[in-house]
Amino acid sequence: MRQIIVMVLILLFALPVQARPVSYPGGWTVMLMNDVDINSLHIHYSPTATYSVGVRHEYLRGSKANVDTAAVNYLIKRWNMPAAQANLYIKSGAGIAYDDGEYDPAAYTGFAADWENRRFFTGYENRFFWADQTEKFIKHKARVGVAPYVGDYGDLHTWLMLQADYDAGADDNFSVTPLVRFFKGPALLEAGYNLDDGALFNFVYRF
């Protein structure tokens, strides 16, 4: 556990480019996320550059439950540097979890930090999820990545990434996922394969 805490702290201060939870003012974002634990669809609207509101649906593979929430994401702080940028967000939601006709209040919160320049990125996020009779967990995710080339504006950008996940309540509580990210214009695509035999596929589109 000590090694995991140290890794998280290092990544926080090295601060991935994330699929950012807040867009430009007036922007809509669709986020489709799939990994070994959760399938989710998140649609949000950003009235300003500091927060977004939306809805999120997810399927929890472990408990085989569905969760619907209203979501709010807030940009706590952004650091603009000459050749890099860092961000700190809080992401929260509340709604219901349901399975086989049983319903449960559900809520989550957590923060995400990212740092990037045109060559490197790294970041960390956590998520505290509670649905009393359905599922409760605390998850941590960290990423590091490198761009094999630096493209110009409008080019197809590529990053090679390594993701580490930690869930204290799971039998297999630590996992590693190599993945590749492609980004061009308003679209972002990620694909990878967990070393414990689970696929990862994420798609984000801003409009």
- Which CATH entry fits the domain spanning 2-206: 3.50.50.60, 2.40.160.40, 2.70.70.10, 1.10.357.10? 2.40.160.40
Global pTM value: 0.85
Distance from the Cα of residue 167 to its chain's centroid: 15
Predicted pLDDT of residue 12: 38
Q: Is the pLDDT of residue 11 over 80?
A: no
The residues spanned by each domain of the chain are: 2-206
Predicted pLDDT of residue 2: 47
Predicted pLDDT of residue 19: 65
Structure tokens at 106: 């559900």
Instruction: Give the angle subtended at the CA of 17 by the CAs of 170 and 9, to the nearest 5°.
Output: 55
The conformation of residue 178, written as its DSSP 8-state character, comes to E
Q: Is the dihedral of CA 1, 134, 60, 186 positive or negative?
A: negative
| pLDDT tens, position by position, 47-95 | 999 999 999 999 998 889 999 999 999 999 999 999 999 999 999 999 9
